[in-house]
Amino acid sequence: MKVLAIDDQQLVLLPLQKRLVELGYEVQIETDGKKGMEAFNTFNPDLVIVDINMPFVSGLDVVKHIRITKNSQTPIMVLSGDTKDETITEGFDLGINDYMKKPLSLNEISARVKRLIGTPEGQKTVTNSNVMIQERCVGVVIPCYNEEERLLSEEFITYIDKNSGYHLCFVNDGSKDKTLEVLHELQKGREEFITVYDCEKNGGKAEAVRLGMLHMAKKEDLDYIGFLDADLSTDLADFDDLVKTIETTDFKIVSGSRISRMGANITKESARKIISLTINFIIRKILKMDFKDTQCGAKIFHKDVINIAFGEKFVTQWIFDVEIFKRLSIHFGLKEAKAMLCEQPLKRWIHADGSKLSMKDSVKIVAQLGQIAWVYRNKKKYATSKKQVTNNVNVA
């Protein structure tokens, strides 16, 4: 029994394909609507599962091809995040058999497939899956420098196995130990979900994150891209909460915040806490934003601001987060930049042993903040001058 699944996001198709194959179906997947229609003509499926919102050729175009052009009654199931009544109504008017709204569990999808076309002969008993097919796809950049001993490989693997729609990009920042070997071992068998980006020379966390973010921005099926510390001082469940916020709001950036509050597990060394408070006070003055914590290593970005935030090399090595917010305020204006940023308290943050940021480095940050204030003051003057020239030309 053949199933053709069409969705422009490969991270959605792969777990779906794996599950249906386990159940005994023969499955072909396509990430392009036009290729999906061509596959229908040659593959002759018993069932088509299709997304609606795809570029160039939409899911409804695929349905029209099957029902009108080919005059076929092959069962069609829509699996989409589009919940508009008019879209669902049009789908059923065209002759679809089922409409499934993301997010949805693989168990429910499997049950609906069986209801429509039956169970393959000789099907093996398969345990229930706890995987959810998500509406969005997310890239996560994880900078790594000498993480051979600290990298929590099992936690990362378990998470991507249970949560569809995630692609992890580990950036090896010129490690001197066996970090690169560990990362390649972690990637083995999961190449569609894990990328290893290797920097031969150590360039610092800022450059490692920047290169990783720009690399992931090239992946067309990702909606959002963020970064996370390799030691998982912010855990993956908390990061997923940041993703849920950005996908359900108009914010362009959601930044984790290590604010101590009731019900949250936030730990810091007392000396680091005092330094952090001092630094954050200076940062608020520079940014002219009431940020509680700019330096948390967990942030998620809408894809359309990646180039603005990461296109140029950062001035500093540790506090590039401040530079990101300065770049946005210069590009969009302070008022609009404030409106697109959200600071979300974390449920858990632990200062992990072996952190690469020493107390001495923390003291140096104060000097780096002065450097940022000077450099971006000049950038703002240049941007303002350029805008005035453009306006004068337009008036003329």
Reply yes or no on whether the pLDDT at 393 is more than 50.
Answer: no
DSSP letter string over 108-133?
A: HHHHHHHHHH---TTPPP-PPP--EE
Residue 126 burial by Cβ neighbours in a 10 Å radius (0-12, 13-18, 19+): exposed
Q: How far is CA 180 from CA 188, 189, 193, 360, in A?
A: 12, 16, 17, 28
268, amino acid identity: K
Rounded to whole angstroms, the Cα distance separating 270 from 291 reads 21
Q: Helix (H, G, I), strand (E, B), or coil: what is residue 378?
A: helix
Name the more confident of 166 and 356.
Answer: 166
Candidate ranges 240-249, 275-284, 291-300; pick with highest mean pLDDT: 240-249
Locate 184 and state its tokens. Answer: 């390649």
**CA-closest candidate to residue 19, choices 129, 166, 104:** 129
Mean pLDDT of 258-281: 58
pLDDT band at 124 (very low <50, low <70, confident <90, very high): low
Rounded to whole angstroms, the Cα distance separating 295 from 315 reads 16
**CA-closest candidate to residue 254, choices 305, 198, 311:** 305
Residues 6 or more apart whose Cβ sits within 8 Å of residue 105: 129, 130, 131, 132, 133
Read off the pLDDT of residues 52-110 as tens digits, 9 standing for 90 and up. 999 999 999 999 999 999 999 999 999 999 989 999 999 999 999 999 999 899 999 99
R_g of the chain computed on alpha carbons: 24
Rounded to whole angstroms, the Cα distance separating 359 from 271 reads 8
Beta strands 166-173 and 132-133: pairing type?
unpaired
User: How many residues in the chain?
Assistant: 396
Reply yes or no on whether the pLDDT at 334 is more than 60.
Answer: yes
Read off the pLDDT of residues 373-383 as tens digits, 9 standing for 90 and up. 888 887 776 55
Residue 253: how many CB atoms within 10 A of its CB? Answer: 22
Determine which of 110-114, 146-150, 306-310 has the lowest per-residue pLDDT on average: 146-150
Rounded to whole angstroms, the Cα distance separating 73 from 318 reads 60
Answer yes or no: are the C-beta atoms of 64 and 20 closer than 8 Å: no
User: Which residue intervals of 23-58 are DSSP H helices?
Assistant: 33-43
Reply yes or no on whether the pLDDT at 37 is more than 60.
Answer: yes
Say what the alpha-carbon torsion angle 58, 59, 65, 66 is, to the nearest 10 degrees.
170
Average predicted confidence (pLDDT) for the chain: 86
Rounded to whole angstroms, the Cα distance separating 293 from 296 reads 6
**DSSP symbol at 304:** G
Answer yes or no: are the C-beta atoms of 161 and 152 closer than 8 Å: no
**CA-closest candidate to residue 166, choices 196, 192, 186:** 192
Determine which of 89-93, 216-220, 290-294, 316-320 has the lowest per-residue pLDDT on average: 290-294
pLDDT band at 126 (very low <50, low <70, confident <90, very high): confident
Does the global pTM surpass 0.85? no
Read off the pLDDT of residues 136-148 as tens digits, 9 standing for 90 and up. 899 999 999 999 9
Beta strands 138-144 and 166-173: pairing type?
parallel
Q: How far is CA 298 from CA 141, 163, 241, in A?
A: 10, 18, 11
- The pLDDT value given to residue 294: 75
Locate 130 and state its tokens. Answer: 């706890």
**CA-closest candidate to residue 192, choices 229, 151, 225, 164:** 164
Rounded to whole angstroms, the Cα distance separating 387 from 393 reads 10
